[in-house]
Amino acid sequence: MQKKLAGRLIAVAVVALLSLLYFLPSFSEDRIPAPLRAVTLGEGLTLGLDLQGGIHLVLRVEREAAVENFAERTLESLNRTLAEEKTGASAKAEDGYGFRITYDGTGEVRSLIQAQIDKHFRSVEQARPPEGMFMFLRLTEEEQERIRTGAVTQAVETIRNRIDQFGVAEPLIQQQGLDEILVQLPGVGDPDRAIDLIGKTALLEFRLVNEEVNLNRGDTVPEDSEILYQRITDPLTGVEIDREPHVVKRRAMLTGDTLTDARVSIDQFNEPYVGIDFDSTGAKIFGQVTAENVGRRFAIILDGNVYSAPVIREAIPGGRASISGSFTPAEANDLAIVLRAGALPAPVTILQNVTVGPSLGADSINAGLVATLAGLSLVVAFMVVYYRMAGGISVIAIVLNLLVLMGALGAMHATLTLPGIAGILLTVGMGVDSNVLIFERIREELKMGKTVRLAIDQGYDRALVTIIDAHVTTLITAAVLFLFGSGPVKGFAVTLSLGILINFFTAFVGTRVFFDWMNAKRRLATLSI
pLDDT digits (tens, 9 = 90+) for 341-368: 777 888 888 898 888 766 556 676 677 7
- Give the whole-number percent of the chain exceeding pLDDT 90: 12
Tell me whether residue 159 is in a domain: no
The reported pLDDT for the residue numbered 422 is 83
DSSP letters spanning 193-244 = HHHHHHH----EEEEEB-TT--GGGTPPPPTTEEEEEEEEE-TTT--EEEEE
Check whether residue 320 and residue 378 sit in a common domain.
no
**Phi/psi class of residue 216: alpha, beta or left (left: φ > 0; alpha: ψ in -120 to 50)?**
alpha
Residue 169 inside a domain? The answer is: no
Q: Are residues 245 and 343 in the same domain?
A: yes
Residue 5 is which amino acid? L
Does 157 fall in a domain?
Answer: no
Asked whether 271 and 233 are in contact (CB, 8 A), the reply is no
Residue 282 domain-assigned?
yes
Closest residue by Cα to residue 23 from 418, 423, 413: 413
User: Range of 376's domain?
Assistant: 2-48+358-521
Same domain assignment for residues 129 and 263: no
CA angle, residues 9, 449, 434, in degrees to nearest 5: 45
Residue 158: phi, psi to the nearest 5? -65, -45
Say which CATH number the domain at 267 has.
Answer: 3.30.1360.200
pLDDT tens column, 424-438: 888 888 888 888 888
Please tell me whether residues 500 and 389 are part of one structural domain: yes
What is the enclosing helix (H) or strand (E) of 131? strand 124-131
Closest to 126 (Cα-Cα) out of 116, 115, 136? 136
Domain shared by 122 and 208, yes or no: no
Single out the residue of 218, 303, 209 nearest to residue 248, CA to CA: 209
Low-confidence spans in the chain with pLDDT less than 50: none
What is the C-alpha R_g of the chain? 34
175 vs 177: CA distance, rounded Å: 7
Distance, CA of 463 to CA of 169 (rounded, Å): 45
Residue at 58 is within a domain: no
Number of domains in the chain: 3
Domain boundary among 327, 355, 383: 355
Sign of CA dihedral 253, 257, 259, 264: positive
Judgement on whether residues 367 and 434 belong to the same structural domain of the protein: yes
Residue 302 DSSP class: E
Residue 171 lies in a domain: no
Given this model, what pLDDT does residue 169 score?
Answer: 65
DSSP 297: B
Q: In this predicted structure, what is the pLDDT of residue 63?
A: 92
Domain limit, last residue, from 290, 323, 355: 355
Residues 123 and 69 in one domain: yes
Backbone angles phi and psi of 429, in degrees to 5: -60, -40
Between CA 416 and CA 420 the distance in angstroms is 6
Q: How far apart are CA 392 and CA 322, in angstroms?
A: 71
| 351 and 230 together in one domain | yes
Q: What is the pLDDT of residue 523?
A: 67
CATH code, domain carrying 81: 3.30.70
Provide long-range contacts, Cβ within 8 A and 24+ apart, for 186-194: 186/46, 186/47, 186/48, 186/49, 186/51, 186/52, 186/53, 186/54, 186/415, 187/52, 187/53, 187/54, 188/54, 188/55, 189/358, 191/55, 191/353, 191/355, 193/330, 193/334, 194/55, 194/163, 194/166, 194/168
Residue 155: CB partners within 8 Å, gap ≥ 6? 59, 61, 181, 344, 345, 346, 348
255 found inside a domain? yes
- Return the DSSP state at 192: H
Q: What per-residue confidence (pLDDT) applies to 101? A: 92
- Shared domain check, 127 and 237: no
Report the CATH number at residue 425.
Answer: 1.20.1640.10
Q: What is the dihedral of CA 427, 428, 433, 436, to 10 degrees?
A: 150
Same domain, 391 and 501: yes
DSSP states of 12-25 as a string? HHHHHHHHHHHHGG
Specify the 3-state DSSP secondary structure of 485: coil
What is the predicted pLDDT for the residue at 247?
Answer: 96
Which one of 143, 161, 180 terminates a domain? 143
Contact criterion met (CB below 8 Å) for 405 and 427: yes
Q: Domain check: are 308 and 413 in the same one? A: no
Q: Are residues 344 and 364 in the same domain?
A: no
The reply to whether 180 falls in a domain is: no
